[in-house]
Structure 1
């Protein structure tokens, strides 16, 4: 009589394959994680370069306090909306560190820690928090809402972030470094508000276009389907 022991030993493996529909992928897990990490590093580098490029574009002077209108807020919001909180925070942090160590990557070619004593200090520091906050909002919207709601919800989140983070910290920075009273700091900040809100809309439209064309840039949570017996 033929020995059927090898067939019985293989039964557990065959039953596992039948239940899962695919072989064990544990060995392939490491290359996948390396690929994702490489993609994240590349995206952080690209958006850091975008932040630098936005600062290189000459700003429009407003008032006599030395705070120009630039494309930096547009780049910051776009970074958060596209990359999500972690990678956007890393991109903005890298940008700030490059400027603080002496590279002329801030507006008007400024660099070094001395910018923290100037009128733009609050705005610069707000960029990191703004990118993280709007990145959190973008991740929540893209994961949990329909595509038709992306633009209005992201515009709302961007407006709130711009007002509550960028402009509040910018006003606080002018009050501390320029010793301005609150009313004077708010008056100095107001000319930037309409342009920043317009830039928010542009950033949202661009970010939604990116996510629709490349849905894996900010990974969406996969919806679990009920398994059938």
Structure 2
């Protein structure tokens, strides 16, 4: 139990730390950041439950006002911005990534982590992000989907990196990969 709590807190901190990687904003206000890779790693390393809880802890800290999102953003105002769907989707994306990782036991760890990261950290996260854009910007599905197309290549690269990082971690410290235990 204590180990799980520590890892949940550590991975919430990892998501926050990845927000320090310099971001850049697209014209409509949604930033490209490394934080979604932290969400992917929560699932690939910690598994569904712990990974989802780590991302939920991160979102809770942001809601309390801690400036943990890229660009030092935090507080309830984040949930009224175009990025609200992405932030709200973090815990579900981490959970789905972890669930997929747990289901893909037949695949080598790197491949399983990469595919799981695409499913949870791209497909699920984009579903929430597009929903948020539709609501906050009063856009239709096609229009909101078009706004996020520029993110796809970068997020696919993050998913590949999550696969490599998870495989490297599994090789260096096999017991630390809780998504496979």
Superposition TM-score, scaled by structure 2 size: 0.92
TM-fit CA distance, 1:186: 1.4
Indicate whether 1:175 and 2:139 are aligned.
Answer: no
| Aligned counterpart, 2:22 | 58
TM-fit CA distance, 1:72: 0.7
Q: How many residues align?
A: 180
Deviations 1:14-62 (A, max 9, x none): xxxxxxxxxxxxxxxxxxxxxxx22212211211111111122231111
Indicate whether 1:102 and 2:87 are aligned.
Answer: no
Question: Does the 8 A contact of 1:158 with 1:200 survive in 2?
Answer: yes
TM-fit CA distance, 1:112: 1.2
Indicate whether 1:145 and 2:106 are aligned.
Answer: yes
Change (3 A) 1:116 1:157: same
Question: Does the 8 A contact of 1:162 with 1:197 survive in 2?
Answer: no
Indicate whether 1:47 and 2:11 are aligned.
Answer: yes
Question: Does the 8 A contact of 1:159 with 1:197 survive in 2?
Answer: yes
Q: Partner of 1:56: helix, strand, or coil?
A: coil
TM-fit CA distance, 1:219: 6.8
TM-fit CA distance, 1:168: 1.4
Greater displacement, 180-189 / 194-203: 180-189
TM-fit CA distance, 1:98: 0.7
Q: Partner of 1:58: helix, strand, or coil?
A: coil
Unaligned stretches of 5+ residues in structure 1: 1-36, 222-229
Structure with the bigger RCO (C-alpha within 8 Å, sep 6+) is: 2
**Separation of aligned partners in 2, 1:164 and 1:214:** 29
Change (3 A) 1:58 1:201: same
Change (3 A) 1:175 1:41: same
Change (3 A) 1:219 1:50: closer
Indicate whether 1:69 and 2:32 are aligned.
Answer: yes
| Aligned counterpart, 1:135 | 98
| Aligned counterpart, 1:26 | none
Instruction: Detail structure 1 runs of 4+ shifted over 6 Å in the superposition.
Output: none
**Separation of aligned partners in 2, 1:57 and 1:166:** 20
